[in-house]
Structure 1
Amino acid sequence: MAMRYIPIFILLFLSSSCKSDDQLTHTKPLTLGDTLISNGGGFALGFFSPSSSNTSLYLGIWYHNIPGPITIVWVANRDNPILAPSSPVLAITNSSDLVLSDSQGRTPWAVKKNSTGAGATAVLLDEGNLVLRLPNGKITWQSFDHPTDTVLPKMRFLVSYKAKVAMRLVAWKGPDDPSSGDFSCSGDPSSPDLQFVTWNKTEPYCRLTVRSGKSVSGGTYLTNTSSVLYQTSVNSGDEFYVTYTISDNSTLMRLMIDYTGKLKYLSWNRHTSSWAIFGEHPYVPCELYASCGPFSYCDFTQITPACQCLDGFEPDDGVNFFSKGCYRQEALKCGKQSHFAPLSGMKVPDNFFHIRNRSLDECAAECSRNCSCTAYAYSDLSSAGAMADPSRCLVWSGELIDAGKSTSGENMYIRLANSPAVNKKPTTEQILLPIIAFLLLLACIALVGIYKYKAGKWRKKKNQKKLMLGYFSTSKELEGNSTVPSVTFEDILSATNFFADSNLLGRGGFGKVYKGTFEGENVVAVKRLSQNSGQGTVEFRNEVVLIAKLQHKNLVRLLGCCIHGDEKLLIYEYLPNKSLDSYLFDFGMARIFGANQNQANTNRVVGTYGYMSPEYAMRGAFSVKSDTYSFGVLLLEIVSGLKISSPQLIANFSSLITYAWRLWEDEKATELVDCSVVASCPLHEVLRCIHVGLLCVQDHPNDRPLMSSVMNMIENENALLPTPKQPIYFAESNYEGAEARESMENSVNEMSITTLEGR
């Protein structure tokens, strides 16, 4: 929180007793006007007043080396200020206790450890941590264990200890009042190791995503500057804690809860000399706790997140369901059949019951046999570094509230009633009528096919007869065809300079193509057709019309035609950069799809190995998420300057994806960036592209974001990015990885991969 407060030591700047070292001893107390400054100069400890009247004095820690109003990160006596005219003193007693007292004999704050022996010192460390240290080096107390409203880098924030809430951030009461306010954030007392919640007094205000239960997990967030923030969550059994580190070891980043209830990620912008927000919760109205009502969720995958009904539910009032929620289309009844519908990418609802040591089938069975169970979610942690329980089974009863949907969510299974039509046995008419209709349709298709086949043979014979009679001996036959205007042969000779080689554009299946200029300004292309080119024996009038249609389909306008003896010529628009179709319809996998498709299954895989998604290369399953995978590969190539399978890669990494994943996992993503990119682009933008690229190349299509979300991630630097999952090509150097790769390549070869070079 940046404040307009003036530290007391500035008011007393001329005082001869002003101190500026980093230690407090028994013989050297801290008085009004004194400060402790950390060895690196990053933080200061002293007395400050939140108003210009200086009637209330607080002991606090703030950033020392940034300009402008001071930013307080810790307050000792926040709920017990020292009132003027009493003077404060911070001292170490003979028993090595740290005590804050005033001239009236009051003790607003103290650290009493009852240590044996004297000689303790209080030291302000470079991380902003005030520690009480004995002569033998043992730290008996530290301010990092007692945060107020702020978490600093390298601070170990203990969320829970032995399944009990441990630390809590408490907001200020107001912008000028450091006393404890109404808003706070901590682990949920009902499940402190699984979810983190901000509270308004005792009511939940905003709930973050439920954890999977892994013993170690992490995430990467790009700040507004060139730094990268790494979040690490550790569950060691008895305790669960979170730490934050920053890529350049800077301390100018903080996580805090403000007096309005917002949990903010802030970084210092040296260009604007101000704190910039690069993430916050809640950041949209529907992220507030239960704001969408029961059986609804906040859809974060949309450009503007809004409430939506869960599958199988409808809005309660038909229009605005931010408070009333949604109701079932088919009511659940005990004894009646039901089924579970999967929902992907979900932030699971609140008020779950955690069942331990269950497999997926056992978790589903727990919910199935309980009539009041409305949903369940399962995570397999056997290979993810879990503790004693290799799984996480959550079940819900009654209403589902405070759910969400994002690109980094998990699978959830919701209980829905079977439709009455599902259990109703079909009648004889319902069975026979579709069969009869299908047979009639086949018969109609066969008749149409026979008719077209015979009509085509008849037309071909007629055209051959006309060709034999010299039907196209002159160009006069085309003069009456208004759709294909005629041009004289003399005009073509003049335009092309008698078909000079200097005007030759190229050769194709139809013959040579020349560039020509009509009337000194209109540039056209002239295609010289041989006698039997194109459609062969098809009559020339139809051939010209057919070619005209083809040219129109290919976004090229036919301007005219000409016949000279046995030679035929077409005149059409000259496009120096080729027709648009040449870019649209061999681009990517566009030819696989119809105009209204967004996914397909193919019997023949076409594409470049390395750029194809795993599900397409191995099973022929292609969707819009397959192009997302290819885009991710391309993004990593652009950033690194390497090809997907490059000889410049470090040994033991068979592909760029493997190399990028290992560097990102080891927090060394900057090593992936090509030097030419570093010189021309801000580092934080490049690192964000690496993060987005790894999200795009995730193994399962459901884990990959839509391209609309990808664009939002790249353009919106304030958007928090989810943590990517380990890609399928990782760890190929061992025997099992090599064996898996060989299996995949064999399956790909069996499907007849066609590699298109240069795409």
Structure 2
Amino acid sequence: MAPAWLLSLAIIFLSPLISQAADTINPGEFLRDVDRLISPGSIFELGFFSPGQSSHRYVGIWYHDFSTDTVLWVANRREPVLDHGGAFGIAADGNLVVLDAANRTLWSSGGATLPFNNSVVQLTDSGNLVLNNSGGVRWQSFDHPSDTYMPGMKVGLDLITRENQNMTSWTSENDPAPGNFSLSMDPRGSTQIFMWDGDRPRWRSGLWNSQIFIGIKNMVPQYIYGFKLNNFVQEHRMYFYYDQFNSSHRYVLSWDGLVKHMIWRNDTSEWLLYWSQPTTPCDIYNKCGKNAGCTDEASPICSCLAGFQPASGDEWDAGNWSSGCVRKTALGCSAAGSGGDGFTRLRSIKLPDTSDWFPDLLDTSSCPDKCLRNCSCTAYAYVTGIGCLIWGVDLLDIQMFSGDGGEDLFLRLAGSELSESPPPTRSSSHNHIILTNFILSVAATSKTRTQTIIIAVIVVLVVSIFSGSLFFLWKRRRRIQERVSTYSSFGGAASVSDSIRIDEERNEEELSELQLWSFDSVLFATKGFSDSELIGEGGFGPVYKGTSFDGQELAVKRLSRSSGQGIEEFKNEVKLISKLQHRNLVRLLGCCIHKQEKILIYEYMPNKSLDAFLFDSTKRTLLDWNTRYTIIEGIARGLVYLHRDSRLRIIHRDLKASNILLDKEMNPKISDFGMARIFGNDDETSTKRVVGTFGYMAPEYAMQGYFSTKSDVYSFGVLVLEILSGKRNNSYRHPEWGLNLITLAWKLWNEGRAMEFIDPVIKESANSTSLKSSVTKCLNLALLCLQDHPNDRPSMAAVVVMLESETVVPTPPRPPTFATDRSFSETEESSTVELKAISSASVSITMLTGR
């Protein structure tokens, strides 16, 4: 009989897998440092290894039959085994683990506790390590990539949760711990791939046109070797993958920040570097700043686009291009062909980042028309396989390609910038003298007396017309000054110099591009704040219709002293809106501070606010289903811009029907940013001063003061219910069931009776078959936005994807539990509240005040 110590030693050595060629690990089996898993076709191998010159041990996967030192995936990247005493196998909770010699867990596949006896792990011939339990895949390494992208791997973006699967570089050649660089899908949901240096973009691929990434120079379909973008409708995911037969191809994100396409050469038994990015200065994201292009062959490499000039000449000349370029001449925003805006063509361009996509515009003529009709549009492009792309923001990350690479970008310019002759740079009187002398000199050299007389007559006519124009302009200016003097008496107006300019008071450069109005100019525009010009009463004061000196219609918001919006809220609103440019955000034209007066000047919206139509028994008939759906989409797009795409990431905090303005074509524009907040990388923040409107505030915000972008998502859900039903959320109660609007929506949706929820006006304006489908989708989507917990709500980017897709079906929502059952009068106006938390050493009291 064998001694006890020998039996124990035998157990220790027999506990690893008996077969060195096994491809699976079963419960009770552990892989020791010298053992290996080999895939069924002997293509891939798993085991312990030490990278480079390191002595630390890691569990990884590499090729078995070639390039055996090329590690493709690492389990315990952050916690190496310090000696050769490690083990890899299935733990008692059914998950995969890496253990050190003291049986401490250094890494685990995580997840829920699984039945131990039902777990089995297999290394497949695709290089995927799969943990199966009870017949289903519970975990797989392809869902948790390291630095290598392999055939069959589907790495992408969850369109509902916005969770992104990243490839992450090693820290160094000798350390597989996650480094500074990562590669992932565009978190905004576009078909671009981004490389990140920390949280800053380092490189982007450009959009996918079904064959290539259009931002990669000289990329051809043969190059991509089966690359595909998946049909994400059913899975709510978007990811790229390439076919299994390309096993000799791999993409690796190197520790020094390069994404490389490598191809194995059997003839030389080494990897061929086929392509890598970024390799030149111009490949770096937004190297030259906004509205500028980068050309590797040029010196200097950066240049402003046509119609633009450096924002800071001194910095630009010194080789600091970070501030980019600004327009020389403001857009006229009028129709092309009549002296208005037009386009200049830029060829072979890596198209800018952050565009709006219009796949329904399938011809090249519709795209420029779409751009010209939108005053915020700065450029457009039409790309085969993608469609119409329009930019409504600063143009970022532009690269000028040589040869046949890139696409054509049509840059919008003012009419004067498109003229062949340069704009005049001297005074009108000087030009008049030049013109007169020129004509007279021509007359003096004429060969006949008749020609001289004709030219002399022309001179007299030109001089007369010019003199008459000067006299007319002088008289008009005189009348304007007289009117300003008259209106000044209404408010004790001072001269222009007496008006306090907001940039001087703040001593900041943030608002330097904003037009600053004198109080006299505001008085002139509003006829001294005449009652005949009053068009509305906002939460912070009256709004007047105004007309500027040049005849432009304005909306003038005069903040009342008792409004509750102090100088900080005012500055906040000015600061935010002055930096925002989007078709679905109201445009701020200027501001004025004079003594106790705080005034904002906006573009005029002839149709006023959404609530004026939605809750009016007569006007609501003008809101057919197509119009309401367009309004829902526009609001969603505006919020995506605020939350994700703007230079400042912004939470609105007071989204409601009265803050949605409608232009003459009934397009929505989000307004009133007095309570908006800028947020950084934190997903959530808190405040002791909760402001908002009853019926629109998310429960976590109203009750605890926590707010995030998901707070706006909740308010958007309320808005959608109101748009669908034509009823106010904070004042509706079902006459029979006693339910408020949210609980009524849930009941009817859950019972498959969505059509009973909608405004009867809608039923009369749309085809019943298509209407039911789209209404049901919108009701489902609204209820998802109204989920009690913020993490259960979709992002606004996911909302836009669902709204624009004809086939995406949102996931079922949970029933709401925080929807209030308070009863209000049907005629009661919306109440806006402000919650102020007042704390002392031992007590915290919340005070509720209305405004």
TM-score, length-scaled by structure 1: 0.46
Larger radius of gyration: 1
- Structure number with greater CO (CA < 8 Å, separation at least 6) is 1
